[in-house]
Amino acid sequence: MDYRFAARMRNAPESFLKKLFDVSSDPEIISFAGGLPDSNLIDVNGIKDSAAFVLDEEGREALQYTTTEGHLPLREYIAERYQKRLGISASADNIRIVNGSQQCLDIIGKIFIEKNDRIGIESPGYLGAIEAFSLYEPVIRSVEMNDSGPDLNAFAQLISDEKIKFFYGIPNFQNPTGRSYSKDTRKRIGDIISETDSLFYEDDAFGELAFNQVPRVPVNKYAPANVIICGSFSKTVAPGMRIGWIMAPREIISVFDAAKQAADLHSNYLCQKIMNHYLRNSDYDRHLKEVVSVYSRNCRLICDLLDDMADTGITHTSPEGGMFMTVNLPEGLSSMKLFEEGIRRGVAVLPGIPFYAGSGGEDMIRLNFSNTDEENIKEGMARLSGLLTDLSSF
Ligand SMILES: Cc1ncc(COP(=O)(O)O)c(C=O)c1O
């Protein structure tokens, strides 16, 4: 049968994830390739208590249809937390609950991108964003990331010359590199973008995972009318609940509502109510401290073990939060070869290729540090070290 798919599906980048999931399910392979938070840190008992409360006290309402906007008390909680943590003026009216922040990428793509519109993205950038936006057939312009964020001259040029619709970036503990924008870069981006009709899509999936728990000023603070900011409880509470949010100017939110309503009517109401009860009745800040203490320990251990491999010619980023880092490979060693050989030797890394909208990533891999315990990190890194020594001596 010759299925007549829409032409836009031809732009869907080949999914790397299927291959990855196959690999992750093999118990013999120690995987740094995935992107899962640590299951042991999910507060199952706390969520169970909140679920029991919601079902006992408000079960009939929680299991009914609701409005597209999302549960008001949860939106108020998010707005209050923005004010308290980041000092940005936030109102529940500007916040919508989505089915995981991944849904924001799709809906923002749907409401802003016309075929061949220009948009900007960090290089390397989040592969899930490249996949989501690509379906709307934009021309994607990449801006190289350095240690303090995207190259600002190239960024300014995209705004002034290319008139991009929006630039998608992750200022805190970026996926894949783990890098963060400096304070000055955040302000400069705000200054460059304000008074233009381009937007900055600020994906803050990892902002709460700062190892030192000190909040960083969002770009939103410097140009609120030009910034869409998205967040998620996936990395901090539980990804399976699929609760994320968007905060944006009212004009954007009303168009967003129309698209979200057409897509799914509303996000899972039961989970929204459980999340709201959980956040308000547990010690969320203490929970976050526990999460980052594990992730920072893992990250430090991996960085130290990678430093021990420096004579193979690798260099790596040193994240101060989040779940990911990248490793630059010695000249001539391809990330695909390292991936394929790694599988044979029982260690999985993620080649950098899908993190580039154009070409790139042959000389880089991403490592996840949230979902491997100390013993496996040591064994997995020993396997990687052996592999690098063997492959880089060719
Ligand atoms: C940068 C970034 N944004 C968004 C998402 C989507 O997360 P979720 O839909 O679970 O909120 C992810 C998932 O890994 C991510 O890394």
Q: State the angle between helix axes of 250-264 and 102-112 in degrees (0 to 180), rounded to the nearest 10.
A: 110
Q: State the angle between helix axes of 335-344 and 374-392 in degrees (0 to 180), rounded to the nearest 10.
A: 120
Q: Which atom of ligand 1 is nearest to the CA of 206?
A: 1
> Can you give the length of the chain in residues?
394
pLDDT value for 17: 64
pLDDT score of 394 more than 60: no
Q: Which atom of ligand 1 is nearest to the CA of 174?
A: 1
CATH entry 3.40.309.10 includes domain 45-281: no
Measured by CA distance, the residue closest to atom 5 of ligand 1 is 102
Q: Which atom of ligand 1 is nearest to the CA of 126?
A: 1
Q: Which atom of ligand 1 is nearest to the CA of 101?
A: 11
pLDDT in tens, 179-232: 999 999 999 999 999 989 999 999 999 999 999 999 999 999 999 999 999 999
Check if 126 has its Cβ closer than 6 Å to any atom of ligand 1.
yes
Check if 174 has its Cβ closer than 6 Å to any atom of ligand 1.
no
Quickly count: other Cβ atoms within 10 Å of residue 301's Cβ. 16
Tell which one of 98, 235, 326, 369 to mutate to probe ligand 1, the residue whose CB is within 8 A of the most ligand atoms: 235
Domain ranges of the chain: 7-43+286-392, 45-281
pLDDT in tens, 77-132: 999 999 999 999 899 999 999 999 999 999 999 999 999 999 999 999 999 999 99
Q: What are phi and psi of 323, to 5 degrees?
A: -135, -5
pLDDT band at 233 (very low <50, low <70, confident <90, very high): very high
What is the C-alpha to C-alpha distance for residues 250 and 78, in angstroms, rounded to an integer?
16
Tell which one of 99, 101, 246, 272 to mutate to probe ligand 1, the residue whose CB is within 8 A of the most ligand atoms: 101
Indicate if the alpha-carbon torsion angle 46, 51, 56, 57 is positive or negative: positive
Average pLDDT estimate for 36-62: 98
pLDDT value for 392: 79
Q: State the angle between helix axes of 44-62 and 269-281 in degrees (0 to 180), rounded to the nearest 10.
A: 130
What is the C-alpha to C-alpha distance for residues 238 and 39, in angstroms, rounded to an integer?
8
Identify whether 176 is preceded by a cis peptide bond (ω within 30 of 0).
Answer: yes
Max CA distance (Å), the chain = 66
pLDDT value for 25: 74
pLDDT in tens, 237-285: 999 999 999 999 999 999 999 999 999 999 999 999 999 999 999 999 9
pLDDT above 90 covers a percentage of the chain that reads 92
Check if 241 has its Cβ closer than 6 Å to any atom of ligand 1.
no
How does strand 324-328 pair with strand 315-316?
Answer: antiparallel
Q: Is the pTM of this model over 0.85?
A: yes
Check if 106 has its Cβ closer than 6 Å to any atom of ligand 1.
no
The CATH label, of 3.90.1150.10, 3.40.47.40, 1.10.260.40, 2.70.98.90, for the domain at 7-43+286-392 is 3.90.1150.10
pLDDT value for 131: 93
